[in-house]
Amino acid sequence: MAVLLDRATIKLMYKPIAMLAGVVGGLLASTLFARIWRALAGEDDAPAATDYARSWSDILPAAALHGIVFGVVKAVVDRVGAQRFERVTGR
């Protein structure tokens, strides 16, 4: 028996899935960034923006890489989550 769901109901159903995917994506992105940073810089931790012992030339590449990794991982997680949700619900 097919049930027609309105747009608001679909959004409410998807919200917890999207939130969980966001948390998992954040953890994945953090791990991936740490591994990439370690491989590129040979350091365990990326420099923090508030670390006055580090120069701008140390901080900005780390921040740029961080943004790229998190942006790409978020896009992948959001896209895959939406596709899986559509596959299961048909919407």
Please return the burial class of 35, using the count of CB atoms within 10 Å of its CB with bins 0-12, 13-18 and 19+: exposed
Identify the pLDDT of residue 34. Answer: 96
- Separation between Cα atoms, residue 33 and residue 65, nearest integer Å: 8
AA identity, residue 80: V
Secondary structure (DSSP) of 12-32: HHHHHHHHHHHHHHHHHHHHH
The model's pTM is: 0.81
Identify the pLDDT of residue 1. Answer: 39
Model confidence pLDDT, tens digit, residues 46-91: 999 999 999 999 999 999 999 999 999 999 999 999 999 889 888 7
Three-state secondary structure call for residue 64: helix
- Separation between Cα atoms, residue 57 and residue 24, nearest integer Å: 31
Which residues, at least 6 apart from 80, have a Cβ–Cβ distance to it below 8 Å? 21
